[in-house]
A and B are shown apart, each in its own frame.
Chain A
Amino acid sequence: MTDQPAEDPREMLVSYLPSLRAFAMSLTRNRSSADDLVQDTIVKAWTNIEKFAIGTNLQAWLFTILRNTYYSSLRKGRREVADPDGIHAQALFVKPDHDARLAFSDFQRAFDKLSPEHREVLTLVGASGFSCEEAAETMGVAVGTVKSRASRARKRLSGLMGLADGEDAFSGVDQASLAVMGRSGMQAA
């Protein structure tokens, strides 16, 4: 086994289809949009393959094409109500279970409400196996930006699930619902 990838990196594109789809899903949250995005990415990668430096990180190069394609289509497309920090989405937060475990369906709902930028950074550093350096390269930002954005995204996600990042499990819940939760807790006991 040598460190050299195959001579023609185009031959290796097929092996990145699963991770390209997973990354595309984290941005679009829609299967057919994700596959459209992967399709555009593959065509761009194929036709610009001479711009890829052999021996560098092919996956990061492909992910960069994919996210740039996604964000430029967002800019060109219909102007959606910008809500990068999920301010109005936060109004729809889900209250925590008593044991603060994150039910997967609650998690998915909260994840869907994050901005694409927050889903992107969490997916890259939390799920794809990328280091902060690789994520920074992919996103075209400094490593420090990756770390601070990931931290804000985690806080936002915790907030959307009604978990206040460990500071106070019930901050963000108004007093009236605290009272209701207290009562129902007593009834359940």
Chain B
Amino acid sequence: MYSDMSANNSRSKIRDQIDENLKRIYDETLNEQIPDRLNQLLQQLKQKAEGADDDRGGAR
């Protein structure tokens, strides 16, 4: 009985530690600065879309 309880405790302890470490790995990247190329990509896509909208408007 005692060993069952301690096995369960140690299993949930390991589980908690795994989740803690998974979050740490995830958050390390989450908190990094976004590389310029990704922000620039979004800007370029936006400019292209606005240009395309203007073209359509002009053609009509």
Chain A residues with CB under 8 Å of chain B are 10, 13-14, 17-19, 21-22, 25-26, 34-35, 38-39, 42-43, 46, 100-102, 104, 107-108, 111, 122-123, 126-128, 154, 157-158, 163, 165-167, 169
B41 to chain A, nearest CB (A): 6
Give, as a whole number of angstroms, the nearest-CB distance from B3 to chain A. Answer: 11
Given A22-B27, A166-B11: A127 and B22 within 8 A (CB)?
A: yes
Provide the residues of chain B in CB contact with A46, threshold 8 Å: 45, 49
If A39-B37, A43-B45 touch, whether A104 touches B21 (CB-CB below 8 Å) is yes
Q: Would you call B59 an interface residue if the criterion is a C-beta within 8 Å of the partner chain's C-beta atoms?
A: no
A122: chain B residues at CB < 8 Å are: 18, 22
Asked if A42 meets B35 with Cβ closer than 8 Å, knowing A19-B30, A21-B29, A166-B11, the reply is: no
User: CB distance A42 to B25 under 8 Å?
Assistant: no
Structural contact, A158 and B18, CB atoms closer than 8 A: yes
Contact sample, A vs B, 17 pairs, CB 8 Å cutoff? A10-B45, A17-B34, A17-B38, A18-B32, A21-B29, A22-B27, A25-B25, A26-B25, A42-B45, A107-B25, A111-B21, A111-B22, A126-B18, A127-B25, A127-B27, A166-B9, A166-B13
Residues of B at under 8 Å CB distance from A? 7-15, 17-19, 21-27, 29-32, 34-35, 37-39, 41-42, 45-46, 49
Residue of A13, A26, A126 touching B42 (CB-CB under 8 A): A13
Which of chain A's residues have a CB closer than 8 A to the CB of B14? 100, 102, 158, 163, 165-166
Bound-state Cα–Cα, A18 to B8, Å: 36
* Contact (Cβ within 8 A) A167 B38: no
If A42-B45, A166-B12 are given as contacts, then 10 extra A-B residue pairs at C-beta distance below 8 Å, sorted by A number, are A17-B38, A17-B39, A18-B31, A21-B34, A22-B27, A35-B37, A107-B25, A122-B18, A166-B7, A166-B8
Which 5 pairs of residues, A with B, have the shortest CB-CB distance?
A: A166-B11, A127-B26, A126-B22, A22-B29, A127-B22
Chain B residue at minimum C-beta to C-beta distance from A107: B21
> Once the chains are docked, how many angstroms separate the CA of A128 from the CA of B19?
11
Q: Which residue of B8, B21, B23, B32 has the most chain A CB atoms within 10 A of its CB atom?
A: B21
* Residues of the B chain whose Cβ atoms lie less than 8 Å from the Cβ of A21: 29-30, 32, 34, 38
Cβ contact within 8 Å between B18 and A35:
no
Closest to B24 in A: A104
